[in-house]
Amino acid sequence: MKVEYIDLGVMNYQDAWQKQSFLMEKLKKEKSEGKEGVNYLLFVEHPHVYTLGRNGNQANMLINIAQLAVKGVEFIKVDRGGDITYHGPGQLVVYPIFCLNDFRTGVKEYVRRLEEVVIRTIAEYGLRGERQEKATGVWLDAGASSARKICAIGLRCSQFVTMHGFALNVNTDLDCFNYINPCGFVDKGVTSMAKETGETINIDKVKLLVLQYFKEIFAIEELQ
């Protein structure tokens, strides 16, 4: 299985969303025509932005849009699943444009594989990532009163092709989560690799680890 890897660097959310949508439609068209098609793995960091999933509750945005505009922060309603989340500097956002049939998986197992990529990545830093029942993403101390999310997941799948993906808090400014109920939760915290380790993390090293575990977990033969 061949996958094309693209590091978009720092890109605003709308442009990255448009890029994803284009690649998704391209892959869907290729598959509908019986072609092998190209799967993509996009890495990006976004400027400050809050996004609300299609089934999310805008009440989980705790300040109004005008206040956000004054702070130079965007608020965007998007077509992924999940509720509200934050993206910003120091956060690694990963968007796989994958045909699930190519990877012999369904949506539920696909989500578990994404979680596993993150779990293995943060384990390299001595962090024990876990899954939490009825709450996608990767957590520390899952099930405890001290449970805190280190990685959020939100997806869209059309004709077995995915877009959107996960956001791993590496060196993220966690104060930005104070303006929302992250993923709709009011009783759970958010954390980052930097906060948990007490050190600024080299995000380029994290990218290499994420790539390594994508290759292993999704059995990717060639990552271009």
Residues in contact with 4: Cβ distance below 8 Å, sequence separation at least 6, in sequence order: 38, 39, 40, 41, 224
Q: How many helices (H) and strands (E) does the chain have?
A: 5, 12
Using alpha carbons, select from 115, 204, 127 the residue that is nearest to residue 165. Answer: 115
**Catalytic option among 99, 151, 176, 183:** 183
From CA 125, how far away is CA 114, in angstroms rounded?
18
- The reply to whether 183 belongs to the active site is yes
Instruction: Provide CB contacts within 8 A for 204, sequence distance 6+.
Output: none
Q: Is the dihedral of CA 15, 170, 155, 64 positive or negative?
A: negative
Active-site amino acid positions: 183
